[in-house]
Chains A and B, each alone.
Chain A
Amino acid sequence: MAYDVAIIGAGMSGLAAGIRLAYYDKKVCILEKHSKIGGLNSYYVKGGYRLDVGLHAMTNYVSHGGRDKPMKRLLRQLRIGYDELNLSPQIRSAIRFGDTALYFTNDFPFLLSQIADKFPHQIDGFAKLLAFIKDYNELDLSIKAASTRELLGTYISDSLLTDMLLCPLMFYGNAKQGDMDLWQFVIMFKSIFLEGFARPYKGVRRILDILEKRFADNGGQLLLKKGVKRIVPEPGGAIELELEDGEVIKTGKVISSAGYLETMNLCGEKNTDAEIQPGVMSFMESIYILDKPAADFGIDDTITFFNSKNINSKNRFEYQKPDTLIDEMSGVICCPDNFDYDTPLNENIVRITNMSNSDLWDSADKETYRRQKEDAMRLSRKEAARYTGDFSSSIIFRDSFTPATIKRYTGHINGAVYGVPDKVRTGMTDIPNLFICGSDQGFLGIVGAMLSGITVANLYALK
């Protein structure tokens, strides 16, 4: 046997699983099909600029203390010191629906006062919702699926507030259209509203550098440009992995972060579990570098979640795959400069994310694809301008990625960023010794992804 455990994918969850296993002297490798680690959260260099993909902010912010919080538990499990991350908290983020705005910081009472001020009739219901959320054990792997919108309806009667609360939580971690699974809502509510946002000064590469080094120091083997072509279970329980370059690796166990259906495809299995359907929620992101700080255009907030659609109707915020290239009426604006750093970042970057239709990108030929990108970027910028001001004449560099890019780099069906809508919480598959971690196991966000890798490694390969 070449390895005790082979991990597919060097994203946050795969790296975290690998660190745990290598630390406890398992013979472990991570097979990454690309030349770079990170998966959904990575970075690249273009035009001389280093640009992040995925990560806008780390959720689950804790300052020193807060020892029972997910971030601290995660760091303890990986033997990473809190200070190594070099986190700077957000300044303030916004949820803006037309002229109505709710602001939040890493100090939860601030959001409470915002709601009391702008939705005075809802504050009692919100307090009850809060009690429910605090009591809810979202980490219990056996809880049943339930509707978030239904639950919110019992506490909050103003659908504008419901939509405003859901907007950031859905954009940052919902694989489902329209509604959200209750346990996912609770995870996201705690990680964003109760805990908050922060960013390492050097962005996602800081986190990846730490993880990569820790994995290597523990004796793990990171194998880049090693895509898995087939997973072949052997009689007796071992597994053979056929790689794209023809190499065959024999291993006792496999933990795959490739996605549940994607992993089943590698096994040559038809999806017999009709309950697990592919996700469709994907995004386009435009990245702009300006010739002056975003603050000069009045963009002071760290992250702005916006919706400008049907403000006065009940169907205003529609979290779903649009029929058009992008849904420019709703999105996320992120300014990496706007965190509370010790030294100003001065990258002058603005990132705008919109929901996007993967089919329309997949079917486009090269020239159409290029033109679509231009059109979608212009449209996205134009609608976001309501919240960012018009910075068009200050752009010195721009780039964008689409659902097709996400699909190419992550292998996710439909470029579905958050994976399948119905999660495989236990991380188990029908095949002995084959487990899944990452988005499809269901702990979302960067902290969630790492906790997912740790949990699956602990349960199935260490215990």
Chain B
Amino acid sequence: MTKEEVRQAVLDIIATIAPDEDLSTINRDAPLREQAGLDSMDFLDIVMELRKRYNVDVPEKDYMELVSLNSSTNYLAPKMADK
């Protein structure tokens, strides 16, 4: 996957988890928590969806890498390069 595809993959996952949210205006550098109304249960869901869809594991110590859309993309891109 290219970086742009990884970004889209993360956005798709968030759209699945929070279908009522408007994701078109997301600031890529700002925390997702407030922007998409995600709580800790939802972040766990992002991790689980990554595993379910792409077989990518995010260890608990790395959860904070998912704080914004850009940090998620940067963190996941190497892991998903061959997906």
Chain B residues bordering chain A, tally (CB within 8 A) = 15
Name A31-90 residues within 8 Å CB distance of B.
Answer: 64, 67-68, 72-73, 76-77, 79, 81-82
Q: Are A73 and B52 within 8 A (Cβ)?
A: no
With A25-B52, A462-B48 in contact, do A77 and B20 touch (Cβ < 8 Å)?
no
Which of B18, B45, B51 touches A67 (beta carbons < 8 Å)?
A: B18
Q: Are A68 and B19 within 8 A (Cβ)?
A: no
Q: Are A462 and B21 within 8 A (Cβ)?
A: no
Chain A residues bordering chain B, tally (CB within 8 A) = 17
Q: Does A144 contact B (CB under 8 A)?
A: no
A72 partner residues in chain B, CB cutoff 8 A: 20
Q: Are A73 and B41 within 8 A (Cβ)?
A: yes
B17 partner residues in chain A, CB cutoff 8 A: 76
Interchain CA distance A77-B39 in the complex, whole Å: 11
Could you tell me the distance in whole angstroms from the C-beta of B44 to the nearest C-beta in chain A?
A: 6
Interchain CA distance A397-B52 in the complex, whole Å: 51
B18 partner residues in chain A, CB cutoff 8 A: 67, 76
A462 partner residues in chain B, CB cutoff 8 A: 44, 48
Q: Are B20 and A68 within 8 A (Cβ)?
A: no
Q: Are B44 and A68 within 8 A (Cβ)?
A: no
Interchain CA distance A72-B19 in the complex, whole Å: 11
A455 partner residues in chain B, CB cutoff 8 A: 41
Contact pattern, A 432-463, Cβ under 8 Å of B = 1, otherwise 0: 00000000000000000000001100100011
Interchain CA distance A389-B41 in the complex, whole Å: 48
Chain B residue at smallest Cβ distance from A82: B20
Q: Does A108 contact B (CB under 8 A)?
A: no
B20 partner residues in chain A, CB cutoff 8 A: 64, 67, 72, 82
State the main secondary structure of chain B at its contact with A.
helix
Which of A25, A77, A81, A82 touches B45 (beta carbons < 8 Å)?
A: A77
Could you tell me the distance in whole angstroms from the C-beta of B2 to the nearest C-beta in chain A?
A: 27
Interchain CA distance A68-B17 in the complex, whole Å: 13
B27 partner residues in chain A, CB cutoff 8 A: none
How many residue pairs bridge A and B at CB < 8 Å? Answer: 32
Interchain CA distance A68-B21 in the complex, whole Å: 12
Q: Does B42 contact A (CB under 8 A)?
A: yes
Q: Are A458 and B44 within 8 A (Cβ)?
A: yes
Chain A residue at smallest Cβ distance from B37: A67
B45 partner residues in chain A, CB cutoff 8 A: 76-77
Chain B residue at smallest Cβ distance from A451: B41
Q: Are B44 and A79 within 8 A (Cβ)?
A: no
Central interface residue in B39, B41, B51, B52, by most chain A CB within 10 Å: B41
Q: Are B19 and A81 within 8 A (Cβ)?
A: yes
Interchain CA distance A285-B65 in the complex, whole Å: 53
Chain A residue at smallest Cβ distance from B51: A24
Interchain CA distance A24-B53 in the complex, whole Å: 10
Interchain CA distance A25-B42 in the complex, whole Å: 18
Contact pattern, B 28-57, Cβ under 8 Å of A = 1, otherwise 0: 000000000101011011001001100000
Interchain CA distance A77-B19 in the complex, whole Å: 11
With A24-B48, A462-B48 in contact, do A79 and B16 touch (Cβ < 8 Å)?
yes
Interchain CA distance A79-B52 in the complex, whole Å: 15
Could you tell me the distance in whole angstroms from the C-beta of B43 to the nearest C-beta in chain A?
A: 11
Q: Are B44 and A67 within 8 A (Cβ)?
A: no
A77 partner residues in chain B, CB cutoff 8 A: 41, 45
A67 partner residues in chain B, CB cutoff 8 A: 18, 20-21, 37
B48 partner residues in chain A, CB cutoff 8 A: 24, 462
Q: Are A463 and B44 within 8 A (Cβ)?
A: yes
Could you tell me the distance in whole angstroms from the C-beta of A114 to the nearest C-beta in chain B?
A: 31
Interchain CA distance A347-B74 in the complex, whole Å: 58
Which of A76, A82, A463 touches B42 (beta carbons < 8 Å)?
A: A76
Contact pattern, A 83-124, Cβ under 8 Å of B = 1, otherwise 0: 000000000000000000000000000000000000000000
Could you tell me the distance in whole angstroms from the C-beta of A27 to the nearest C-beta in chain B?
A: 14
A454 partner residues in chain B, CB cutoff 8 A: 41
Could you list some 23 contacts between A and B, CB below 8 A?
A24-B48, A24-B51, A24-B52, A64-B20, A67-B18, A67-B21, A68-B39, A73-B39, A73-B41, A73-B42, A76-B17, A76-B18, A76-B19, A76-B42, A76-B45, A77-B45, A79-B16, A81-B19, A82-B20, A454-B41, A455-B41, A462-B44, A462-B48
Residues of A within 8 A of B (CB): 24-25, 64, 67-68, 72-73, 76-77, 79, 81-82, 454-455, 458, 462-463
Residues of B within 8 A of A (CB): 16-21, 37, 39, 41-42, 44-45, 48, 51-52
Closest 3 interchain pairs by CB? A67-B37, A24-B48, A76-B17
Knowing that A24-B52, A25-B52 touch, tell me 6 more A-B residue pairs with CB under 8 angstroms: A67-B18, A67-B21, A68-B39, A76-B18, A77-B41, A81-B19
